[in-house]
Each structure stands twice: as C-alpha cells, then as structure tokens.
Chain A
Amino acid sequence: MEPITLAHGSGGKKMVTLIEDLFLKKFNNHNLPQGNDFTSFEVSQKKLAISTDSYVISPLIFPGGDIGSLAVHGTVNDVCMSGAKPLYLSASFIIEEGLDLKILEKIVSSMAEASKKTGVPIITGDTKVVEKGKGDGLYINTTGIGEIPSNLNITGSNAKPGDKIIINGSIGDHGMAILSFREGLNFETTLQSDSAPLNSLIALMCEFFPQINCLRDPTRGGLAACLNELASQSKVAIKIFEENIPIKTEVHSACELLGLDPLNVANEGKLVTICPPEIADDLLKTMKSHPFGVNSQIIGEVLEGTDVFMETSFGGQRKISWPESEQLPRIC
C-alpha cells in the first residue's frame, strides 16, 4: 500500500505527479490540461444552471457505486432538475493523510468512467491533503454547469392543483444499501445503490414534454422531504397513494427491522416530476421506455391546500411530515 502523505497536497513535485499521473490522465479532456489556475470555456447566451455539492459518504466504496461515481451523478442530477443539459463539472478532493493510493485510484477511475458515460467532462479541479485524523479518507466536492433549453420553465414552485406526480422507480435503495454496509449494522443483502445519472432520461422527457412543471431528486430526506419541499415551494397540497409507490421487498424488510420509514430513505438515481394531468400517461410511457425509468409510476396528485399526505393501502390517511434530523449521517 502506498499511503497518501501530506506531501501529496503540498504544492510540490509529489502533488504535480499525483495530478498529472492520476487526475489529468483519468479525467482526460481537451479543456482540462490548460495548466492554468482556471479553465476557460465558451458559453452561449442561453440560460445556465449551476449546482454544487460536497460528498462525504461513508463507506467510500459501497454496493452499486463509490464516492467518485456518486460525486458525478449527484451533481449532474442536481443540474438536470432544471431541465438543463449539463455541460461541465469541477472536482475538488480533500484527502486524509494515509489514504491508500490504490483506493484513490479506484475512485478516480470510477469517477472518470461516470463522467465519460454521462457525457459531462470534469474540466477543473483541486487537491488538498489534511493530516491524519482531520478527515475521513476522502471528501469530494463537485460543481456542475448546464444549459437550460429556452422552451422550459421547470422549478419547484410550478406545481398546480390537478397536476400528476410521477417517480422513475423504487425508493430507498441507496440509503439501505449504504446502511447494510455500515460497521455494526451489517446485514446480508444483495441490495445495490441506485446511484445513476439522470441527464439522458430528463433530456428525453423534456424533449417530448416541455410542459413539465417540476423536477426534483429525492436524495437526503427521501421522497418525504422532496414532496414537502415541492408542496411548500408551490403552496399546494400533495396526496400520494401508498399502493402506487414502488418499494423493493428487501428495502421494505430492512426498514422494518431498523424502524425506518422508506419514504425518508435517500435515493441517488431517482427523480420526481410534476406535470399537467393531460400529459401524465404519455410522459409515463416515455419514461418507462428509458433504462432509468422502467419502473416509473404515477404516485399521486397535487391538490389545493398545504399538507403532504398519503392514502394508505388501508383506505386511511396519514400525514407525510418532514423527516426529522438525520436518519443516517453521511449518506452522500
């Protein structure tokens, strides 16, 4: 094992080697190796979207992904929730002294692969090394920038009474996959994180249905937080139907055992969209035709009012409240 040392972040030769041999090599694209403290690129006159996110997930490598691919998917998805086509990413690494270089290489490779598959190059970055004990292996920050097509007006405040709510697949996979790996909690499961880039699915949706009102990814806080955010931003009530919400049996079982509510568990490859009722069925069909939308479902509707509530499979109703505090720290 070759450990990362403080010298890797010192600004000296060792740092240059790390940047050239690892980061530049892996993230290889024409914008990146300009050798400056900045990267220049051209933008059109269009409306842009920008989003930044820091990734502190533990463990660094988990079933279905790692902190590297997650740092690409997560930020790409945040940019996309405006309907934008993501163009570029930045990546900052805060590495703890002592991290095995092999692990870093693995994560950077996975990040490069995710960036390639997603079609969004990483064009600038930074590396810092902190002393042992002052970090936990590796933290990554990424910022993404994208162009919003001029015919779209997608924001969380656009939901209108009568609109339908669609999700692109099962909830809670990411959170429960991470949990199954945590020290002290190991339970056997084949569950994988749903970490995935949603830009191609969203591009498809927006191409055919520019009338879409809202897009939001139910990450931390899960579907419950996402719906509460949308309801309060749009000043509407939201009603969802328990029977229509896709949840994998493994997720359901693990949640039961640990006393968690799948509605509050994090996702990393899911989106919630709110659209006018007349396009809902066709939009659903389109989403189902995409690999990341096969299990899409209409899960509810927008009403006048203020609360988020659920019609239970029992025929009763219950409120879906904001998840309180962190169910599980460091999940993304």
Chain B
Amino acid sequence: MKYIKEFRDGKKAKILAEQIKKEVKQNYAFMEFCGGHTHAIFKYGLTDLLPPEIKMIHGPGCPVCILPEKVIKQAIDLTLDRDILFCSYGDLLKVPGPKGDSLLKAKARGANVSMVYSSLDALNLARKNPDKKIVFMGIGFETTAPATAMAIKMAKDQNLTNFFVFCNHVLTPSAIQNIFHSPELRNMQELKIDGLLGPSHVSSIIGTRPYEYFTEEFEKPVVIAGFEPLDVLQSILMLVRQVNEKRAEVENQYIRVVDKEGNQTAKNIVAEIFELERNFEWRGLGSIPYSSLKIKKKYKQFDIKAYVKLSEEKVLGHKACQCGAILRGVKTALDCKLFGKTCTPENPLGPCMVSAEGACGAYYHWYINKKVENGKRDKTMSLGHD
C-alpha cells in the first residue's frame, strides 16, 4: 500500500515544525473537527513538535461520541426482539447508554448483536438469514451515509424484506455551525477558536464548498486537512499563515482526495434515500435542527422506525461525565474527575473514552502527562498555552 510512509516522514515533519515555529506571531487556538485528526495528533506525538503558542482543541467529529444515550437505549431495546440480528460498526458496541449498559453487554446477555465492517456485510447477513430481521445501525457523518444509502438501494433492488436500518447519520456543517454559535465561543471567555482544521474524509464526499459559509459568516479560516501526520502539520502551518495575514478562506491541503464539489455519485445516492430530519439531539451539543438524516418515505419499508415505536424517554448519562463540554472544546479529558480512574476504555462511562478517536480515548492511550508533580494533575497540560 502506498501512502503509509510518504506522509509519515519524520525529517519532513521536522522541517514543517521548524517553519511553523518561525512563523508564529501570537497565540493560536485551532480546533480539529475530526477524531481522525485527534488520533494523528496523539499517535504521532505532534504536540511535542508544535511551539507552545499553538493550542489544539479537539472537536466533536467522532461518530460514536456524539450519539446521545437515548439512541444507545433505543438500540439496546431493539435487540430485545430475539428475531432481530443487530449489526453495527465495532466502536458503537461499547458506547455506554443508560446505567452503563451497552450493546456489548446486551450481546453477553444473549442478544443477537454482530460487528460488521461494512453495510454490505449486513446486507449479506440478511440474504443468508431469511428467518432473521437484520437491523443495521446507520451511524457516522457524510462519510458513512453513502454506504448505508447504497445498502438500502441494493436491498430494494434485491427485494429483501428482512433488512432494516436504524438511521442516525449526522451532518458535519450543522455541528460546526453549532460550535461557532455556541455561547462559550461568543463571549470569548471560555473558548477561543482562531481557525478550523476541516474534515478530510467527510470533505471527500461533500467537497470544500460547504465550508465557504463559515469563512464568510464567522470569518474563521478553514483548512481541509488529511489524516496523516504530515497533512496535519502542513494544515496547521496554512492556518497560522491565514491568521497572520488576516485571511479567512477555505483552503484545501488534502488535494490528493478532496475537490471543490466532492463525490457527486455519493451525494446523489444520499439524496435519493435520505432527507433532513427536523431535529437531532447531539450528545454534548444538544438539539440541532436539520442536522441529521432520515430515510425517505419512498424507502420506509427499510426504516426500522416505521415498525417499532422507540422510547423517546430522556436518558441521563453519568453525572460527573464531562463528555459534553469536551465535545464542545470547552474542557479537556484531564479536567474530568472520572478520567483514567473509573472511566477507562475497558469500562467507558462516557462516549469520548470508547474509541481512540474520541478525545478521552486518545488521551488515555497516548498522552504522556509530563507535568505530574507531587501527584497533582496539571490542568494546562503540555498541549500549549491555556
């Protein structure tokens, strides 16, 4: 496979890091939207290379992190029907719902829960198990929505009557807009964002055009960045330059994959199958209008919501869990009392701990707390100024 080593070249990284150091003129706070970026920043120790003037804020772009407890409860409730074989991408299975229950625990109790790597695997299971109702959990941003849409389209073409989708796909631009509108950002006291490291795989689908709104409306620079460590460093340099030159533009660092218009085929299939849901409750960000997708009436035979009345009861997470504030960038994992003590990847109390793309999971796995003195945890961390 190409493109593993090319974008992980330590020597080139040092050159980029030097260049960033040369060009910094002030303190900068940049938010990386995607969990993939958070992952790269921690895994490659990028913060050790960045000058202290640059602070990275970890955004909400981790698909499992933003699902509310209510949706996890609904999923677990669905598995009570033992005729259902519930299929999901792996990370979701561990996400804690009410009272720490999860799909993985439901599986241990005897529920039919299966991890799949692709929506098409779920479709195969439907073909192989005609006596079972296969429910595929559609989660994720614009990157995974086309695959879910394609599975629904194929199920229709193949006249499958035992394939259903529990659709919880969400939209990136709505979440970004919500963060830029947040009171914490507006009053500048709690959160300062000078620029956005834009999504990489999401942008390969939607293109760079949707971000133009943010540069115009909020006057924040956006750089679409790849997920490899050199991509991230180069994009940070591009953001520094925009801030220094007082520009607020959409720039595309990830030109090997992303273009202005995105993937028209993927956009078409999504438009064919889905429409905007009036409202979606995001964990951490709250209710955001028109921020998620639902299955169109024309395809409602594949919508599990058309058959089962799901509980709308509000479910509260762990009281001390700070995932909400962490997802908005207001707090970091180290601000949470539960972090690393009662909340660990083996026993996650909040969703950000589940995946290494979640902010807490990334801290837990890779962050070396260099400033632990006298057993006291340093809240400023080594990630730059505060």
Contact = CB atoms under 8 A, between A and B. Distances in A.
Size range of the chain B interface in the assembly: 20 to 34
A173 B124 CA distance: 29
A106 interface: no
Contacts, number: 67
B13 A314 contact: yes
A319 B47 contact: no
Contacts of A317: 45, 48, 368
A312 B117 contact: no
Contacts of B43: 312, 318
A249 interface: yes
A125 to B, nearest CB: 33
Contact of A316 (B49, B116, B346, B364): B49
Interface stretch (A27-35, A139-147, A251-259): A251-259
B188 interface: no
B1 A314 contact: no
A1 interface: no
Interface in B44-93: 44-49
A185 B124 CA distance: 13
Interface string B1-29: 10010001010011000000000000000
B235 to A, nearest CB: 15
Contact of B368 (A253, A313, A315, A318): A318
B117 A314 contact: no
Given A184-B116, A324-B345, A314 B4 contact: no
Interface string A308-332: 0100111111110100110000000
B8 A313 contact: yes
A79 B4 CA distance: 38
B364 A321 contact: yes
Interface in B343-386: 344-346, 364-368
A258 B116 CA distance: 11
Given A185-B117, A253-B4, A319 B368 contact: yes
A307 interface: yes
Given A316-B44, A316-B46, A317-B45, A252 B4 contact: yes
A321 B117 CA distance: 25
Contacts of A316: 44-49
Given A184-B117, A321-B366, A312 B1 contact: no
A318 B117 contact: no
B282 interface: no
B121 interface: yes
B198 to A, nearest CB: 21
B42 interface: yes
A319 B367 contact: yes
B154 to A, nearest CB: 17
A185 B116 CA distance: 9
B45 A325 contact: no
**A243, A253, A317: which has the most chain B beta carbons within 10 Å?**
A317
A314 B229 contact: yes
Contacts of B364: 321
Nearest to B114: A184
Contacts of A318: 42-45, 366-368
B13 A315 contact: yes
A315 B15 CA distance: 12
A314 B8 contact: yes
Interface string A220-256: 0000000000000000000000010000010011001
B14 A315 contact: yes
Size range of the chain A interface in the assembly: 20 to 34
A249 B45 contact: no
Interface in A132-184: 184
Given A309-B368, A317-B48, A258 B117 contact: yes
A277 B275 CA distance: 65
B10 A314 contact: yes
A118 to B, nearest CB: 36
**A309, A314, A318: which has the most chain B beta carbons within 10 Å?**
A314
Contacts of B1: 249, 252-253, 256-257
Contacts of A252: 1, 4
Nearest to B229: A314
A181 to B, nearest CB: 15
Contact of B365 (A253, A258, A312, A319): A319
A322 B147 CA distance: 33
Nearest to A255: B4
Nearest to A184: B121
B116 to A, nearest CB: 7
Contacts of B116: 184
Contacts of B49: 314-316
A243 B9 CA distance: 11
Contacts of B346: 324-325
A319 B4 CA distance: 21
A313 B366 contact: no
Contacts of A315: 10, 13-14, 45, 48-49
A64 to B, nearest CB: 21
Contacts of A184: 116-117, 121, 124
Given A184-B121, A314-B229, A315-B14, A307 B45 contact: no
A307 B340 CA distance: 14
Nearest to A309: B368
B292 to A, nearest CB: 24
A84 B332 CA distance: 49
A156 B236 CA distance: 43
A318 B8 CA distance: 15
Nearest to B344: A324
Nearest to B10: A313
B243 to A, nearest CB: 23
Interface in A275-332: 307, 309, 312-319, 321, 324-325
Nearest to B345: A324
B334 to A, nearest CB: 14
6 contacts: A252-B1, A314-B46, A314-B49, A317-B45, A317-B368, A318-B43
Closest 5 CB pairs of A and B: A316-B45, A253-B1, A324-B345, A316-B48, A318-B366
Given A314-B13, A316-B46, A316-B47, 14 more contacts: A243-B10, A249-B4, A253-B1, A253-B4, A312-B45, A314-B8, A314-B45, A315-B13, A318-B44, A318-B366, A319-B368, A321-B366, A324-B346, A325-B346
Interface of A: 184-185, 243, 249, 252-253, 256-258, 307, 309, 312-319, 321, 324-325
